[in-house]
Structure 1
Amino acid sequence: MSFLPRYGGYLFLLLFVLSVWADGAGVVPTICAAAQAVLLTLAQRRPGSRGAVMAVQPLLTYLPIVLGRAEANVDCLLAATVLWCLPNRLRWVVFLAVAASSGFVHVGWHGVWTDHLYADLNTAAIGLVAYSLLRLPSLVDRLERTQGDLADATLARERLEVARRLRAALGDQLTGVGDLLRRARTELTADPLRARTSVEQATAATRRVIETVRETAAVHRELEIRPADESPVSRLTPRLTLFALITSLFAWTVIKTLESEHDSVATAVGGAVLSSLLVAQVLRPAWAKRLLPVQAAVTLLPLPWLGSAWGVWLMLLAVAVLLSGRGITAVLATVGLVALRAVYSAPDARWGWMILATEAILVVSGLCRFWQLSTQLNASRIALAGTILQVERLRVARDIHDLLGMTLSVLALKGDLIAALVTRDAGRAETEIDEALRIIAGAHTEARALVDDTAARSLRRELEAARQALTDACRTVRVDYDDDLPDRAGAVLAPVVREAVTNVLRHSTPTHVEIACRNRKGFVHLNMRNDGVSTSPRTGGQGLRNMRTRVVDAGGLFETALTGGEFSLTAQVPCP
């Protein structure tokens, strides 16, 4: 956050105290205003002091009145203190009471109603502005600090949705496969043909589950990304800013209209038009430069005829200049407009008008800038959450394809093997059925692990699972690996091993498979080789793309080759 938005509240308090002095209020009101500003800052910086501040502020507010200086209106700082120090259920009621009593305190019971309205609006508007300028930096800081919270909440919601979709996809289907295999185990001896039928039904059901899981992964990857930001701070900050801005512009227009003796209609219309143009400029930043010539024409052309009464709107033009541009040009233009305002004022009041003009520019531009900051920060929060959500969906879709898909593919192949063994070797068929039931239990575990990033994958365990899966499909399997394979490598290479084994089982008829995994000089090297490949693997296949993405994202290298019917895969991952 830049200097002006962060410290704009303190600058506003300083300028307010200077304006009290410049209006000729006297020493005591100026000292009381300065003390109020210090105490209000203390209440903002040290929450534990708010009770004491709230007790002292009324004394400082009404002391000048007791001493006969009723024209010095410093009630606005009491109104701001009320918003800072009182609990939510009381603050706005007391704030309105302080604002409503301001007219009776400074004008008297028998004063003109317009003077009462002027004092009330002045107290309410300046109090709200002071509170907003002091409050908004902390809200913007909270928005920045909670970006990670929004991302975490979005991730948690996404994982719950993934878990729901996987339960819907798998549901009772895997349980039904397990029931069929258990029935086949009980029928092995008494009725082998019926047992084989049960196994074939279980295998067909498994393949249907595989298709369902793949469709789920594809649908999940293509879902529209709509992260929701439900943080109260994200809603409060821009709303409070916009409310304070519109209230300030409305109060300023009414006050200047009441002050104008001869051109009240022109002043009111000018204030309404220029305020509307400024709000449009804030809400639609792309319009800022296009609206600036209109604002300049509306402000400057009537100035020679309407004079001082119209000169107050030079400040809104200065704010529009600051919103439309940056750098020295905008600053010089703003200084020029403040000087022009001083020209269209009484000679003995020019310094006072320059202080008030600077104060007005600071207030309005500060609120405009806060609105822009809060909306930009909310947009960046949503964008960050959307990016994390997209990455998570791609990860889950990839893991469904690589991990759960491989387990289910092995289960289907295991079903084919069991069906062939039922009538030839009942003992081995029973062993394979038990192994298939363990695979089903593992599939449920993997489905849960897909939405749990704390579930670390062991590369050594994956290599042993690959040895077991390949042993049933080919004549010679050699798996060799080091004992000191780091866990960081497992997070990347374990899914690669699993997907590679799935490809071997699905796209080749191997008789010989070799897998080697070595930890050498800060890198883990994975090499796989198998024969029985009749055609080149699809270089654009999802499995190979997923493997390459995993390795490359980890800063590694990934290569494949086909030579004389033998397919080889090499992956290298850094592990410092």
Structure 2
Amino acid sequence: MGRTADDLPLRLARAMLWASFGILVYIRAFSALDGGADLLGVLLPMASYPPLVALSMWCWSPAARYRLFAAVVLLYFLPYPFVGQSWDWMPWTVAAAALCALPTRIAWPLFVLGVAASGALVLLPGFDAYPGLEFQTGVGYMIVTADDGLIVFGLSRLVMAVTRLHQTREELARTALSRERLRLDGELRRLLGGKLRAIGFRMRTAARQEPGEARHSLREGIELARRTMAEVRATAGAYRVDALEKISAPIESPRPARRVLLAVLVIQCLLVLKNLLYVRPGDWPALAIAAVLLVVIVILQVLPESRAVLVAQSLLILLPLAVFPDAWDRLLSIFTGKLLLNVRPPRSWVIVGVVLGGHLAWFLHRIDRNYLFIDDIPAALANFGGHIMIMWLVYCLGRLSGLLTVLERTRHELAEAAVRRERLRIAGDLHDILGYSLSAVALKGEVAERLLGTDPARARTQITALGSLVEQALEELDSITGDRVELRLSSEIDAAREVLASAGIDAVVRVETGPLPPALDTSLATVLREGVTNVLRHSRAGTCEITVSGTAGGVRLRLVNDGATLQEEAEPTERRGTGLDSIAARTGGRVTAGHRTGEIFEVLAEFPAPAEPGGGPCGFPPVSGTQALSDVRPLP
């Protein structure tokens, strides 16, 4: 399967880490050439790179991480018997591997130990160092080891964070959805559950009482059903329009990125002071001024990001270059990285190209002056590569932080969208399903009340059935906040026939399809519920015809009654309700309604067949003959 745009953040993050390793390879290669190494001396020191790349690029189990760490350590020592001291003896790969592979409480002490060991190596007998500069050489080794180790670790952690967020971008949505369902379930139970149980209690009480007492209990139950029905509709409307709370607080730049960048900046400032001690020995006023400026630069890095902070820090990096050109240029890479990050391309690439070109020219110019141990082109290129590495690090940390922020915001937006969809779904089910059941309770209760004076036995049967209808409504309330309520068209046809009969409306039902898929069955049943409710509320029908038939592309439900009037058809939308439009929008079907000849009113709902092939031309096997559930002559 091909990659999609959703893979872009992950691919971009990994590409940045690959590029960082490429720059480090470039630096170490020229550094080895500067030390007089041959081709073997250039390649062997890189033996520990592949396991470090694997360790920092992908997520592994603890056992696999420990094995990769052991491989880095062993391969780090491999070159020494072959290349000796022509290799820069800096265990930055071991330091980076420790941070990437081991638990924090073990990793950081080992990291500090590795950094200290790299500086102590210059004290070993026979170590080839410039006479009198052992201390500066040791400090330089420690700084480079810490710098490179932190660079790999910082970029690796951010890439891992991007990977985790990319792979789990929908987890927050699932968590928020579950939390919202639980909240709404408790809210609906408190709001409606008690009222439904009270309605059921009154109906069961009426079924046991004598006609006179039963009439009073029945009226209380009917009135409570109507009030509850109004509350259901108000609650459904509130769920549609209520503003959602934010899933989380505003997202900030990741702390690991800020900490790594701060640590690298501090290291670069220490390098500046080290170089100043070499090029200006004894010039304590200049060193004091430089130290104050460096402290201010570090403080600005700690402050919240803003344009003013960026401008101030950039000026403190650029202006002292004229005074301390042979040391302050270490900070130019920080400025170049921020420039690349904050200026839009292609203008940023042009400016950075000019800066880097000037920087390289300055390095090559310093060869003739023999400053800072730079006495040949490989050394100059190696040092220039170090500046490119810092520039790239600043850019990558900023971009990866942005990717993390975008991914985290996307997770929150997915969660909010899932909660919003769930509230709309529950609102629709409340209106379409629970509202219908309460309408049926109120209608059948009124019929039973009228029968109490003429046919008490039949009235008692009707009242007993009301108890079962209320129990059904309670079950529907329980299922509304779970997975989508599943209805069955056959059961709804039986219920429609019964409730229409209770209202004195004869039903003609024809079903010309066989078994339907559950989702389509529920959609048709829901439309039938809403349509029958509208017939009961808005018409004076004597006959209602219900027809379910297959079409070339799906299935059609036709609901026709003969009790509509032009005046009733002209009623405002808010009085007639918007249930059918809501159902059509939520189920992917098409529902139309309108007047036909005379007082005939028709509701027509069409739903597409599922993608899987089925029997019959429309995807649903026809039944043998038409199922007529009434002997009344069909409407024209």
TM range (shorter): 0.7 to 0.9
Who is 1:340 aligned against? 358
2:555 alignment partner, SS class = strand
**Do structure 1's residue 128 and structure 2's residue 150 form an aligned pair?**
yes
Letter in 1 for 2:268: W
Gap runs ≥5 in structure 2: 1-7, 126-131, 281-285, 368-375, 611-636
Which of 308, 327, 332 is equivalent to 1:314? 332
1:529 counterpart (560, 566, 569): 560
Cα distance in structure 2, aligned partners of 1:154 and 1:376? 19
**1:485, 1:518 within 8 Å by CA — same for their partners in 2?**
no
Q: Work out which of the two has the higher radius of gyration on C-alpha atoms and give 1 or 2.
A: 2
Matched, 1:165 2:187: yes
Cα deviation per residue 1:106-150 (whole Å; 9 max; x = unaligned)? 468999988776655543342122123234333312212212222
SS in 2 for 1:430: helix
2:584 pairs with 551, 557, 573, which one? 551
Structure 2 residue 226 is matched with structure 1 residue 212: no
SS in 2 for 1:392: helix
Q: Secondary structure at the match of 1:308?
A: coil
CA deviation after TM superposition for structure 1 residue 78, in Å: 1.0
Task: State the shift of 1:404 in Å.
Answer: 0.5
Query: What letter is aligned with 2:443?
Result: L
- 1:476 corresponds in structure 2 to 506
Q: Is 1:194 aligned with 2:208?
A: no
- The one-letter code of the counterpart of 1:334 is V
1:359 to 384, 389, 402: 389
Structural mapping, 1:23-38, within 5 Å: 23=31, 24-25=34-35, 27=37, 30-31=42-43, 33-38=45-50
Cα distance between partner residues in 2 of 1:236 and 1:124: 27
**Distance between the aligned counterparts of 2:398 and 2:318, measured in 1?**
22
Say whether the 8 Å CA contact 2:155–2:396 is kept in structure 1.
yes
In the other structure, the counterpart of 1:10 is 18
* From 432, 451, 458, the counterpart of 2:488: 458
| Partner residue in 1 for 2:438 | 408
Counterpart residue number, 1:51: 66
Q: Is the 8 A contact 1:225 1:386 kept in 2?
A: yes
Q: Is the 8 A contact 2:52 2:68 kept in 1?
A: yes
Q: Give distance in 2, aligned partners of 1:31 and 1:236.
A: 42
Correspondence 1:330 to 2:363: no
**3-state SS of paired residue (1:514):** strand
- Which position in structure 1 is the counterpart of 2:372? none
- Residue 171 of structure 1 deviates from its aligned partner by 2.8
C-alpha displacement of 1:539: 5.5
How far apart in 2 are the matches of 1:138 and 1:308? 38
User: What are the Cα deviations for residues 26-77 of structure 1, in whole angstroms up to 9, with x where unaligned?
Assistant: 5387555412222212434565654344334445556788997499352221
Q: Contact (CA 8 Å) 1:523, 1:575: kept in 2 or not?
A: yes
**Aligned residue identity for 2:97:** T
Secondary structure at 1:147 match in 2: coil
State the 1:7 CA deviation.
Answer: 2.8
Q: Could you tell me how far 1:236 is from its partner in structure 2?
A: 12
RMSD (Å) for aligned C-alpha atoms: 3.6
1:567 aligns with 2:601: yes
Amino acid at match of 1:43: L
AA partner of residue 486 (structure 2): A
> Aligned partners of 1:402 and 1:294: how far apart in 2?
62
- Alpha-carbon offset, residue 268 of structure 1: 5.0
Secondary structure, counterpart of 1:479 in structure 2: strand
1:19 positional shift: 2.1
Aligned to 2:258: 242
Per-residue CA deviations over 1:403-448 (Å, capped at 9, x if unaligned) read: 1011111111122222222232121112112211111111111112
1:390 is displaced (CA, Å) by: 0.9
CA–CA distance in structure 1, aligned partners of residues 253 and 522 of structure 2: 41
Is residue 492–residue 554 contact of structure 1 (8 Å, CA) maintained in 2? yes
User: Given residue 382 of structure 1, which amino acid in structure 2 is its aligned partner?
Assistant: H
**Cα contact 1:311–1:344 (8 A) shared by 2:** no
Query: Mean Cα displacement is larger for which, 58-67 or 450-459?
Result: 58-67
Residue correspondence of structure 1 range 54-73 to structure 2 within 5 A: 54-59=69-74, 61=76, 69=85, 72-73=88-89
Which amino acid in the other structure matches residue 225 of structure 2?
T
Partner in structure 2 of residue 139 of structure 1: 161
Read off the aligned partner of 1:146 and give its amino acid letter. Answer: T
Q: Counterpart of 1:181?
A: 203
Give how far 1:485 is off.
5.8
2:433 is the counterpart of 1:399: no
TM-score (norm 1): 0.86
For residues 346-385 of structure 1, what are the structure 2 equivalents within 5 Å? 346-347=366-367, 348=376, 349-385=379-415
Q: What is the Cα deviation at residue 253 of structure 1?
A: 2.5
Structure 2 letter corresponding to 1:387 = A
CA-to-partner distance for each residue in 1:177-216, whole Å, 9 max, x for gaps? Answer: 22222222222xxx32111111112222222322332333
The change in CA–CA distance for 1:268 and 1:33 in structure 2 (over 3 A counts) is: farther
- Structure-2 change in CA distance of 1:316 and 1:527 (3 Å): same
Q: Which amino acid aligns with 2:23?
A: L
Rounded Cα–Cα distance in structure 2 between residues aligned with 1:87 and 1:542: 66
Aligned residues with identical type, % of pairs:
27
1:435 aligned onto 2:452: no
> Given residue 243 of structure 2, which amino acid in structure 1 is its aligned partner?
E
The reply to whether residue 82 of structure 1 matches residue 82 of structure 2 is no
Q: Distance in 2 between matches of 1:91 and 1:306?
A: 37
CA 1:14–1:498 in 2, change beyond 3 Å: closer, same or farther? same
Q: 1:549 to 1:408 in 2, by over 3 A?
A: closer
Q: CA deviation at 1:565?
A: 4.5
- Answer yes or no: is the 8 Å Cα contact 1:315–1:337 preserved in 2: no
How many matched pairs? 565
2:115 to 76, 99, 117: 99
Work out whether residues 538 and 576 of structure 2, in 8 Å CA contact, stay in contact via their aligned partners in 1. Answer: no
Q: Partners in 2 of 1:542 and 1:252 — Cα distance?
A: 73
